[in-house]
Amino acid sequence: MAKISFYLTNPRAKNETNLFCFINYGLYRTDNNGAKKYLPLKYYTDIALFPALWNKDLNRAIESNKWANPETFDISISAVKESAKTNYERINTKISDFETKTKEVINRLSVNGVLPSHNELRTELDRIFKPIKETTVSGQGETPKDLFQFLDFLIKTSNNKQSTLKSFKVVRKNLQDYQKTKKTVLTFESIDIDFYNSFVDYLKKPTKSKNKSGVTVTKAGLSQNTIGTRIKILKTFLSEANDRNIIVSTDYKKKSFKVLKEVTNSIYLTESELMQMYRIETTPESLEILRKEFNANKLPEYLAKVRDLFLIGCYTGLRFSDLSKLKKENISNDNTINVKTIKTNQNIVIPMHPIVRDIFEKYNYQLPRAISNQKYNEYLKDVAKIAGINELITKDITKGGFKVSQTTEKYNMVTSHTARRSFATNAFLMDVPSISIMLITGHATESAFMKYIKMSAKDNAIKMQSHKFFNPMLIAK
């Protein structure tokens, strides 16, 4: 027989708080030693009461005149007692009714001794106790209580930039696909630690879908960092709902509901490689590729524009979104660039590098318009390849739950964000103080900044050669 234990969601609440329960109905798994570990279902109810009126030992509301309707206080003592009795008996009746119906559901879903899964049981309990009512977003401050309607509401009313809203929509689709695959109904209360483990496992696995031609295509599971980003956004949704007094499972606050991360093999371009790119039309190797691929002695205009914007990023540390916004007005008479960044809304001042000055003058201080980030990254790899940035790089990532090692030419790993890493790393290697670089990159702490530095072991060794510990001649001087 199932055992159902109730608990206060917030025992320290000053106002009413809802009850949740653990439903232990015999579902278990065995460990490596064959021992059984029972798996109770955590379920949030819509039964609410003041913490002071709950008896945790009896799992019932206590008898108290505090249950009385305030309107009865001026009538008589007997009226107060009657009102109180009616109210606490109503709560206890709801609790008893929940227990009875839940046990009936468990019996009904158990077939030939096989117990229902958590998802099956939760879905049926939601159907009985939390039927979804159609709600509309009024546009007048109404917040939908349904999970997906709330996500739509949040996306519609959010002040975040388009790229962030796009990632919100991706997570919404992940949740919808998960719900369809698992044949369940997701609610705010069902996003608990059991869901987390199941959802992470789901995102790791390959998926199959049909393309426009009707051919089945298999996509590999997501990488660990991509899954981590999905979880981070999900936690943002839940936190926002909680702040709006929507009842959610508080499991998202637990350490075990963690954002997965792994160190990636992000690259930077050395000062020498940047010069290869800047002087791409003067080296024999690059000229040979240009003649072979484009029948020309110089970069096609569309690639030259991408190269030039990228180099500005490498010598200013600006993000891709800020590059095309640069104008002559951003350049001061004291040879500095003054910019208010789009992402962080920070006012930063950057010394003008000679290469940046040359590129500005090349375009008469009207830089090329930025193309889509996707096309920019595609063309950037072509530029890096022509420049001969072809060192073999091995990167290790976790994808589909497995460690995967991939070796590729360095030009394949160059993206728009490589520019900021190159700026920070090269400046650091040339002994520019960290705090000075951070005033440009916007890093708030040195620990966060150091994670951004992509100095190789060889770079580190060469840099340390000039330290007095490795060069006794410096001490003698």
Residue 71 lies in a domain: yes
* pLDDT mean values, one per 10 residues, the chain (477 residues): 90 85 91 86 88 90 72 54 77 93 93 87 86 47 72 77 77 91 87 92 82 70 87 91 84 90 80 95 90 91 95 94 87 91 86 95 90 90 95 74 77 92 91 90 82 72 72 57
pLDDT of residue 72: 46
pLDDT of residue 402: 64
Could you tell me how far CA 123 lies from the centroid of its own chain? 27
Residues 144 and 75 in one domain: no
Please state at what angle helix 271-278 crosses helix 301-316, rounded to 10 degrees.
150
CATH number, position 314: 1.10.443.10
Integer Cα distance of 432 and 434 in angstroms: 6
- Domain end among 261, 280, 313: 261
Strand 216-219 to 28-30 pairing: unpaired
Residues 66 and 176 in one domain: no
Closest CA to 205 of 222, 224, 181: 222
pLDDT of residue 222: 85
Residues 283 and 334 in one domain: yes
Alpha-carbon torsion angle 183, 48, 98, 6, nearest 10: 90
| Number of compact structural domains in the chain | 3
- Domain end among 109, 130, 151: 130
Residue 38 lies in a domain: yes
Residue 179 lies in a domain: yes
Residue 266 lies in a domain: no
Q: Where are the alpha helices (DSSP H) in 189-340?
A: 193-204, 224-243, 271-278, 284-294, 301-316, 320-323
Residue 109 lies in a domain: yes
Residues 91 and 195 in one domain: no
pLDDT of residue 68: 63
Residues 121 and 89 in one domain: yes
Residues 257 and 276 in one domain: no
Residue with tokens 């691929």: 293
Cβ pair 61, 88 in contact under 8 A: yes
Residues 95 and 150 in one domain: no
Full domain range(s) for residue 140: 132-261
- For 454, phi then psi, to 5°, come to -110, 45
Radius of gyration of the chain (CA): 31
Residue 163 lies in a domain: yes
Residue 351 lies in a domain: yes
- Domain end among 261, 283, 301: 261
Residues 93 and 206 in one domain: no
Residues 386 and 453 in one domain: yes
Residues 454 and 346 in one domain: yes
Give Cβ neighbours of residue 335 (< 8 Å, ≥ 6 apart): 351, 352
Integer Cα distance of 89 and 60 in angstroms: 10
Residues 296 and 410 in one domain: yes
pLDDT of residue 232: 93
Residue 137 lies in a domain: yes
pLDDT of residue 137: 41
Residues 296 and 438 in one domain: yes
